[in-house]
Structure 1
Amino acid sequence: MRSSWKFPPRTILVPLDFSNDSLAGLEAARLLGERWRCHVEVIHVDQGPPPAFNQGIDLWTTEALAAMGRDLRHWLERAAAPVAHASTHILTGPPAAIISRLAADAAADLVVLSPRRRRRLPRIFSGSLSETSVHAANAPVLTVRTRPEAGWPRRVLAPVKWAPYADRSLRAARDWAASLDAELGLLHVFEGGEEDEMERRAVVEHALNVLGEPSPRVRWHWATGRPFDEIPRAAEAGGYDLVVVAEHVRDGWKDAVFGTTAERVLRASSVPVLCVPGGPVKARAHRQADAGIARGYPGLSGV
């Protein structure tokens, strides 16, 4: 497991299930890969047949499954063909466990996902795969809902507050904006209900200290309310096409039921969201996924 990730990324990991959502994520990875000249790892996780299906299996069924596997690899390679410097992998096992395990082990410097939620279940029982991966990840996770256009991103928005985890996302937003020649916008949310001029000046000073020299040109935004409401609202109103936040757990039971601030921003945002790990490297997880990863992704360290 890596202790940190590289920027610009050397490797981008993209899970693909051939849905329009995941194809949008693949297009985002293609655009970023071309601009950063990095390698793109495209994976498909095959759940496989249920255990009962394997009882009394005959030769015809074995051959049929082998043919399906060949077709799957063909379609995976065809989908990845437009992506420069791409490789494809088919993994076997529970998709949520395997993808979260890859994110937790920082198998790449950037993971690109599409947010898809199982309906009719509250978050405590079933969050989206992207939310689960964001919570476990030790590398940045980019979530993309719709296919981005050439030149994306052009405008990057990041929240500012006095916290080490927020400083990490602020630096990430600075790096992305500078590397991709995008405009940088900063948002501070007054959570006490009223704007305060002394707090405003202190926030600007803190942000400039975090950003360092030479200080980039930024566009400031101010709001009152709850950050997970105001961040998506400011992004849409300001015409931003990327939001950068940090994943951080503050209150165990509330975050378990409702989601962390980053997860709630991800859920509400209509534009892509980059979630940066806000703290130390998290413990290794999802041991049950190791065998499926080892068979299809042997380059992953520690498996």
Structure 2
Amino acid sequence: MFERILYPTDFSEVSLKALRECLPEIVRPGVKELHLLHVLDITTLDVEAFSLQEVYEEKLEKLKGDIKGMFPETEIVTYVSIGIPSLEIAEYASGKGIDLIVTPTTGENIWRRMFLGSTASNLARATKKPVLLLKYEKKEEEILPTFPSCSGIFSRPLVALDFSKCSIRIVKTVKKFEELIESGILLHSVDYGGIDELEHNIEIARKNLEKTAKGIKAEFELEVMVGTASQAIIGTALAKKATIIVIGKKGRSFLKDLILGSTAERVMRDSKIPVLLVPCD
């Protein structure tokens, strides 16, 4: 299991809800440290950020006291930093040897998402640590998860592989929680080659999935799809009742992601179930 988990919080409704209601189901025995981080965003503060640091340190310590009983076997560490949230979170995770960053994300205005991005999506681009995105939405003034259960998040993963070096990292990450897997799906989408190569590419992909499955203790179904990877991943996750999507994230520039998109970017945006992004840089 992941030994050191980082949970950045901005004290918003969704952040506190996920912390209290979902994170205790994720932080299981074996997790040694839970790091709570708040970043004072220098791009939005109207007053001197340093004058607020002590205030938020006390606020974070109070939050730690409120939730400590929910994590009886885990040390809780708190820290307040100043800067651009996504970059500060990424730097903290790297410096503290964090194994997994967990953050909730909600649907946002389409223009904000296109031109500004969100802390969650910017963090996914910036960090070299796995990021677990918990998906929430607002319904009739209430923030609700878009997935059925926090306790079973890792029970039926859909693992998307492209057979590059990135796939090796993805499988290593999956093995960190393989004892929690009841069954899963290994998926590869054939969106390359000509029509005359299709049957051959499908067969090669199935053989590669079979080899991969032998390296994981849990039982996995094998799925080879044809077409756009993001659509295949989201559609199969829905049809096969996956509890989480595990996908690799390769480095791209922010501008390229806006103009062209990427498979991970589209899955992160459109999936209703949690997404575990594994960095491949």
The alignment-based identity, stated in percent, is 23
SS in 1 for 2:115: coil
State the shift of 1:249 in Å: 3.8
Per-residue CA deviations over 1:34-80 (Å, capped at 9, x if unaligned) read 243331111222347977645xxxxxxx8x99667645542454245
CA distance in 2, matches of 1:102, 1:238: 36
Aligned to 1:259: 261
2:70 to 82, 88, 94: 82
CA contact (8 A) 1:105 1:138 kept: no
State the shift of 1:109 in Å: 0.8
Aligned to 1:184: 184
Aligned to 2:111: 121
CA distance in 2, matches of 1:251, 1:49: 21
SS in 2 for 1:127: coil
Note closer, same or farther for the CA distance 1:95–1:33 as it changes in structure 2 (3 Å cut).
same
CA distance in 2, matches of 1:180, 1:50: 40
State the shift of 1:207 in Å: 2.4
Q: Which moved more, 1:247-256 or 1:110-119?
A: 247-256
Give the unaligned 5+ runs of structure 2: 136-144
CA distance in 2, matches of 1:72, 1:105: 20
Aligned to 1:156: 157
CA distance in 2, matches of 1:136, 1:17: 18
The reply on whether 1:44 has 2:38 as its aligned counterpart is: yes
Give the unaligned 5+ runs of structure 1: 1-7, 55-61, 280-303
Q: What's the TM-score, normalizing by structure 2?
A: 0.77
CA distance in 2, matches of 1:51, 1:270: 32
Per-residue CA deviations over 1:153-189 (Å, capped at 9, x if unaligned) read 220101232311133224433x155221331211222
CA distance in 2, matches of 1:28, 1:120: 27
Q: Which moved more, 1:77-86 or 1:201-210?
A: 77-86
Q: Larger radius of gyration, structure 1 or 2?
A: 1
Q: Which moved more, 1:262-271 or 1:222-231?
A: 222-231
CA distance in 2, matches of 1:71, 1:106: 22
Pairing 1:1-303 to 2, within 5 Å after superposition: 8-23=1-16, 25-26=18-19, 27-47=21-41, 53=47, 70-71=58-59, 73-79=61-67, 81-84=69-72, 85=74, 86-103=76-93, 105=95, 107-116=97-106, 119=109, 121=111, 123=113, 125-145=115-135, 146=145, 148-173=149-174, 175-176=175-176, 178-192=178-192, 196-213=198-215, 216-249=218-251, 254-279=256-281
State the shift of 1:92 in Å: 3.2
SS in 2 for 1:31: helix
Q: What's the TM-score, normalizing by structure 1?
A: 0.72
Indicate the structure with greater strand content.
2
CA distance in 2, matches of 1:107, 1:265: 27
Higher relative contact order (CA 8 A, sep 6+): 1
State the superposition RMSD in angstroms.
3.4
CA contact (8 A) 1:124 1:258 kept: no
Note closer, same or farther for the CA distance 1:250–1:49 as it changes in structure 2 (3 Å cut).
closer
CA distance in 2, matches of 1:70, 1:250: 38
